[in-house]
A and B are shown apart, each in its own frame.
Chain A
Amino acid sequence: MVNLSVNLSGLTLSNPIIPASGCFGYGKEFSEYYDINILGSFCMKGTTKEPRFGNETPRIAESSSGMLNSVGLQNPGIEHVVQQELKEIRAYYSKPVIANISGFSVEEYEYCVRRLRGIDNVGLIEVNISCPNVEQGGMSFGTDPEMAAKVTKAVVKVADKPVYVKLTPNVTDITEIAKACESEGASGICAINTLSAMRIDIKKQKPVLANITGGLSGPAVFPVALRMVYQLYKEIKIPIIGIGGISKVEDVIEMMMAGATAVQIGSLNLVDPYICKTIINQLPGMLEQLGIDDINKIVGAAHR
């Protein structure tokens, strides 16, 4: 028997596979395809203090081995998430979920995290300071170590669960931002969010996305994400959740060897709703082939 269970700051996951925020809704659509209780956990759609429609459509564009989105944090607001979504989730998912929080001011982040206190099916809070699709807030907190530190400090103070900060790759040195978060008490780092990108419709001679730019995700970004997780592992001591273009079981292994304790799978869920199930089923066999009896042994293996 291969041990797949991993520990994220006290939260034990039966395996390291977590669908990423924004690619899994609240899990309901996927629970119609398979029993999602097999997942280590899942990350809910990003939540803000107030409800948001998000950006105008088109919000989706394709690219080689990936896609761009400019959804812009569409969500029903923290109150609705607490009163309705988190309650409804219990009907089809019995483990704790990860709540992804966004804001346009430090106070908004703080408000949302405070609102999640005492909710026992939230196991971990992912603070998104890296959304490339909103004008103010979002990524602007994630590109400046001082702002990242400020947000982290504020939410850690009011959170009753581990706080992981989700970082943007759209910076010169991601480790500087991560260190700032670590020093203010973040329990872990999630890396990476999408890469700022665009496409042009050559017939219309106009950007494809109504928002002009969007975030690139999918297999195209995997090597970039891997490199950043590798760099982060060298510089910080807190756990890393590796995210970015994972599309197969080998990618999970690579990401963990680079230093991730767990991984999130994002846009692949949108094109193959069974991807997480497939990978979870393949993990034990893959590890056995590598002669590994405990998945934790590969975390950071590429550094040794």
Chain B
Amino acid sequence: MGIYTIESIRQLTYDTYEMTLSGDMSWIKAPGQFVNIKIDGFFLRRPLSVCDIDDRYMTLIFKVAGEGTKALSMMKVSSQLDILCGLGNGYDINVSISEPLLIGGGCGVPPLYYLAKTLKNKGITPSVVLGFNKKEDVFYEDKFKALGCNVCVCTVDGSYGYIGLVTDIMDMFDYDYTFSCGPEGMLKAIYDKSIVSGQFSFEERMGCGFGACMGCTCKTKYGYKRICKDGPVLFKEEILW
């Protein structure tokens, strides 16, 4: 846990914000981990996945979903936040893969960016499928392209990119593994469609975010797991829907 300073806040879409923070980044060990932010006036912290990180800064992207994230979006540059950092298991990139496909839906897109960067550093350039509801929701397409990834964007209403769901376009790529993050319905559709193995990052209402309260437990083939501590990333082989 620590105190982090807001270095920048930028509006990406009408309801989505990108925040950069400085502070102790040593807690974060893997892409797909998340942080839990204390916001004045709210009892529970707000969990947000880490979008990018280096030695000094981390980038978080969040959608204004309620009062808490609204307050967060209105915070001023150079103000400070109390953050529990480096939570959850994150994606395991030490799996034997050569052509991974990264699939993100809406708020599930951010953690895939740091994952793509990490894979890139390992010499693996992933392909990326990003799904949004409509044109106004799209963000980070250019950022993934700048990493050298093949990127395909689709929108549910067809107002930008391909029309349809991520599962309608994922087979445009050759892939031997999937890394995904997004709403549970999307994850299930990917699970059903893909014949290869993969890792799926889940979302659940959490109490603590570090494994103490049993608020976010799910059933897996290998017993009960806490989304916040044993997840949020689960392997395809262990998931029970």
Q: Which residues of A contact B (CB under 8 A)?
A: 22-25, 29-30, 33, 45, 53-54, 57-67, 69, 71, 74, 218-219, 267, 269-274
Residues 140-193 (chain B) with a chain A CB within 8 angstroms:
none
Inter-chain contact A22/B229, CB cutoff 8 Å: no
In the assembled complex, B119 has its CB within 8 A of some CB on chain A:
no
Known pairs A29-B210, A33-B1; list 20 more (Cβ under 8 Å). A22-B214, A24-B212, A30-B212, A53-B224, A59-B205, A59-B207, A59-B214, A60-B205, A60-B206, A60-B207, A60-B213, A60-B215, A60-B216, A74-B217, A267-B207, A269-B212, A270-B207, A270-B212, A270-B213, A273-B212
- Residues of A contacting B229 with CB < 8 Å? 29
- Residues of A contacting B207 with CB < 8 Å? 59-60, 67, 69, 267, 270
Inter-chain contact B44/A57, CB cutoff 8 Å: no
- Residues of B contacting A45 with CB < 8 Å? 214
A25 to B210, CA, bound (A): 10
Given known contacts A65-B43, A67-B44, A53 and B219 CB-to-CB distance under 8 angstroms: yes
Q: Which residues of B contact A (CB under 8 A)?
A: 1, 38, 42-45, 84, 204-208, 210-219, 224, 229
Given known contacts A29-B212, A67-B207, A62 and B217 CB-to-CB distance under 8 angstroms: no
Q: Pick the contact of B215: A69, A218, A272, A274 (CB < 8 A).
A: A69
Inter-chain contact B43/A58, CB cutoff 8 Å: no
Q: How far is the CB of B105 from chain A (nearest CB, A)?
A: 19
- Residues of A contacting B45 with CB < 8 Å? 271
Q: Chain A residue with minimal CB distance to B82?
A: A272
A36 to B43, CA, bound (A): 24
A269 to B219, CA, bound (A): 25
Given known contacts A29-B229, A58-B204, A271 and B38 CB-to-CB distance under 8 angstroms: yes
Q: Chain B residue with minimal CB distance to A55?
A: B217
A25 to B44, CA, bound (A): 18
A59 to B213, CA, bound (A): 10
Offer 27 A-B interface pairs, CB within 8 angstroms, sorted by A: A24-B212, A25-B213, A25-B214, A29-B211, A30-B212, A53-B224, A54-B214, A57-B204, A57-B205, A57-B217, A57-B218, A59-B214, A60-B213, A61-B205, A62-B44, A63-B43, A64-B43, A66-B43, A67-B44, A69-B207, A71-B215, A74-B214, A74-B224, A219-B43, A270-B207, A271-B38, A271-B208
- A-B complex: 9 closest residue pairs judged by Cβ atoms: A270-B208, A60-B215, A58-B205, A29-B211, A74-B214, A60-B207, A25-B212, A62-B44, A60-B205
Q: Pick the contact of B84: A219, A269, A273 (CB < 8 A).
A: A273
A270 to B228, CA, bound (A): 12
A58 to B44, CA, bound (A): 14
A69 to B215, CA, bound (A): 7
Q: Pick the contact of B213: A23, A63, A274 (CB < 8 A).
A: A23
- Residues of B contacting A74 with CB < 8 Å? 214, 217, 224
Given known contacts A57-B218, A58-B204, A271 and B213 CB-to-CB distance under 8 angstroms: no
- Residues of B contacting A71 with CB < 8 Å? 213-215, 217
Inter-chain contact B216/A59, CB cutoff 8 Å: yes
A269 to B209, CA, bound (A): 11
- Residues of A contacting B44 with CB < 8 Å? 60, 62, 67, 270-271
- Residues of B contacting A30 with CB < 8 Å? 212
- Residues of A contacting B205 with CB < 8 Å? 57-61
A57 to B205, CA, bound (A): 8
Given known contacts A59-B205, A60-B206, A74-B224, A67 and B212 CB-to-CB distance under 8 angstroms: no
Q: How far is the CB of A244 from chain B (nearest CB, A)?
A: 15
A66 to B214, CA, bound (A): 17
A25 to B156, CA, bound (A): 42
A69 to B205, CA, bound (A): 11
A270 to B87, CA, bound (A): 13
Given known contacts A60-B206, A60-B207, A270-B208, A67 and B43 CB-to-CB distance under 8 angstroms: yes
A65 to B38, CA, bound (A): 13
Q: Chain A residue with minimal CB distance to B204?
A: A57
A219 to B84, CA, bound (A): 21
A54 to B224, CA, bound (A): 10
- Residues of B contacting A57 with CB < 8 Å? 204-205, 215-218
Query: Considering residues B38, B43, B44, B45, which has the most beta carbons from chain A within 10 angstroms of its beta carbon?
Result: B43
A296 to B84, CA, bound (A): 35
Inter-chain contact B1/A274, CB cutoff 8 Å: yes
Q: How far is the CB of A173 from chain B (nearest CB, A)?
A: 29
A217 to B206, CA, bound (A): 15
Inter-chain contact B212/A59, CB cutoff 8 Å: no
Inter-chain contact A22/B213, CB cutoff 8 Å: yes
Q: How far is the CB of B37 from chain A (nearest CB, A)?
A: 11
- Residues of B contacting A25 with CB < 8 Å? 211-214
A129 to B44, CA, bound (A): 27
- Residues of B contacting A61 with CB < 8 Å? 205
Q: Chain A residue with minimal CB distance to B228?
A: A29
